[in-house]
C-alpha cells in the first residue's frame, strides 16, 4: 500500500477566554491508500480537531497535510465526513437524503437515482427508501449518513465517532457492517474514536494520541485476522496494551 495522506507536524491551539490552549502538539503520521486507520485518544485530546484539519474545515497553526503530495487547503470532493449525530435532513426521505449530494453536484436525475439506490442497498437499507429519519432506529440513521457520504464516491471517508450514539449491541453490529462496507468499496477510512475495543476490532492501524496537548504515542499495527474475535487472547492483550499506553 502506498501513502495517500501525509500528516506532518500538525500543531494547533485555540484562543479561549484568557489563555491559549495547545491541543495538537506536533502530530505526524501517514495514511496508506485503502487502509482503515483509527485515531484513538482520550476525550478532549483533539481527535475531532485533527480530523477537521484533514477535512479542511479547520486550519492548523503549523505543519501540513498532504493528499497525494498536494497540500490540503480546504474541503474537497475527495473527502467526505460522517458525524456522530448523523446530520440527516428530517424532511427528506432516506432516498432524498442520499440523493442530496448528487443534486448539489448536478448529476443527471436517472444516474443519481441509480447510484443512490445502489448505495442504499450497500448499507443494508433496501426497502426503506421512502422512510423518514424519525421512522428509523439510530443504527439505520447512521447507515443513511454512511450511504450519503459514500454515494459521492470520495477517496477518503472521515468518520468522527459515528457509532457512539448507539447502544452497545447495535454498535457492535455496525462495526461488523462498516468493515464489510470498507471491504466492498475499498475506501480509505480514517475513523476517530475514544473506544479502544472499537479501534482494535476495525482498524488496520491505530494512531494512539495522548491526553491534551496531544502527541502521537504510537502507531499500532493490528495484525489480527478478520473477522476478529473480540474474546481471543490476542485481541484482549492488544486492548490492554493500548489501554496502558494511554494511561501512561
Ligand atoms: N473552536 C474551538 N474553540 C476553542 N476551543 C476548542 C475549539 N474546538 C475544540 N476546542 C478545544 O480543543 C480541545 C480538543 O477538542 P476536540 O473536540 O478536538 O477533542 P476530541 O478528542 O474530539 O474530544 P471527544 O472525544 O470528547 O470528542 C478541547 O479542549 C476543546 O475544548
Ligand atoms: Mg471529538
Distance 118 CA to ligand 2 centre (A): 31
CA of 133 to the centre of ligand 2 (A): 23
Question: How far, in Å, CA of 101 to CA of 107, rounded?
Answer: 9
Rounded to an integer, the average pLDDT of 33-49 is 97
Predicted local confidence at residue 18, as pLDDT: 85
| Cell (9 digits) for 37 | 486507520
Ligand 1 within 6 A of CB of 51: no
C-alpha cell at 232: 481471543
188 pLDDT above the threshold of 60: yes
Residue 55 forms part of a structural domain: no
**Structural domain range at position 109:** 88-153
Number of domains observed in the structure of the chain: 1
Task: Record the pTM.
Answer: 0.96
CA 106, 107, 108, 109 torsion: positive or negative? Answer: negative
**Angle at the Cα of 192 (from 190 to 197), degrees rounded to 5?**
110
Question: What is the average pLDDT value for the chain, to the nearest integer?
Answer: 95
Q: Is residue 15 part of a domain?
A: no
- Whether residue 218 is contained in a domain is answered as no
Q: Is residue 244 part of a domain?
A: no
Each residue's pLDDT tens digit, 129-164: 999 999 999 999 999 999 999 999 999 999 999 998
- Within a domain: 131: yes
**Does 132 reside within a domain?**
yes
Segment 120-134 shows an average pLDDT of: 96
Q: Is residue 98 part of a domain?
A: yes
Cβ–ligand 1 contact at 47 (below 6 Å): yes
Ligand 1 neighbourhood includes 45 CB (under 6 angstroms): yes
Mutate to test the pocket of ligand 1, among 19, 21, 42 (most ligand atoms within 8 A of CB): 21
The answer to whether the CB of 10 is under 6 A from ligand 1 is: no
In a domain, 247, yes or no: no
Between the alpha carbon of residue 207 and those of residues 51, 143, 172, 226, the distances in Å are 12, 25, 21, 19
How much distance in Å is there from the Cα of 30 to the middle of ligand 1?
22
Task: Please indicate whether residue 23, judged by its CB atom, sits closer than 6 Å to ligand 1.
Answer: yes
Distant-in-sequence, close-in-space partners of 78: CB < 8 Å, separation ≥ 6: 67, 154, 155, 156
User: Residues 37, 71: contact at Cβ < 8 Å?
Assistant: no
Residue 166 has pLDDT above 90, yes or no: no
- Which pLDDT score is estimated for 165? 86
Measured in Å, residue 45 CA sits from the centre of ligand 2 at: 8
If 0-12 CB within 10 Å is exposed, 13-18 middle and 19+ buried, where does residue 19 land?
exposed
Amino acid at each position: 500500500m502506498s501513502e495517500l495522506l501525509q500528516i506532518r507536524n500538525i500543531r494547533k491551539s485555540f484562543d479561549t477566554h484568557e489563555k491559549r490552549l495547545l491541543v495538537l502538539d506536533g502530530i505526524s503520521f501517514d495514511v496508506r491508500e485503502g487502509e482503515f486507520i483509527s485515531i484513538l485518544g482520550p476525550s478532549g485530546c483533539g481527535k475531532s480537531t485533527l480530523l477537521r484539519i484533514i477535512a479542511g474545515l479547520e486550519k492548523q497553526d503549523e505543519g501540513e497535510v498532504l493528499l497525494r503530495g498536494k497540500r490540503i487547503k480546504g474541503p474537497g470532493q475527495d473527502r467526505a465526513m460522517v458525524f456522530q449525530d448523523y446530520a440527516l435532513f428530517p424532511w427528506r426521505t432516506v432516498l432524498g437524503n442520499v440523493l442530496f449530494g448528487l443534486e448539489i453536484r448536478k448529476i443527471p436525475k436517472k444516474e443519481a437515482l441509480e447510484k443512490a439506490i445502489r448505495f442504499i442497498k450497500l448499507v443494508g437499507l433496501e426497502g426503506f427508501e421512502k422512510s423518514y429519519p424519525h421512522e428509523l432506529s439510530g443504527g439505520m440513521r447512521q447507515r443513511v449518513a454512511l450511504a450519503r457520504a459514500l454515494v459521492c464516491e470520495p477517496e477518503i471517508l472521515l468518520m468522527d465517532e459515528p457509532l457512539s450514539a448507539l447502544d452497545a449491541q447495535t454498535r457492535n453490529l455496525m462495526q461488523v457492517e462498516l468493515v464489510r462496507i470498507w471491504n466492498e468499496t475499498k475506501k480509505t477510512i480514517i475513523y476517530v474514536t475514544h473506544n479502544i475495543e472499537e479501534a482494535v476490532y476495525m482498524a488496520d492501524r491505530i494512531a494512539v494520541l495522548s491526553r491534551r496537548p496531544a502527541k502521537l504515542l504510537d502507531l499500532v499495527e493490528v495484525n489480527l485476522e478478520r473477522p476478529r474475535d473480540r474474546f481471543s487472547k490476542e485481541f484482549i492483550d492488544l486492548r490492554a496494551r493500548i489501554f496502558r499506553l494511554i494511561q501512561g
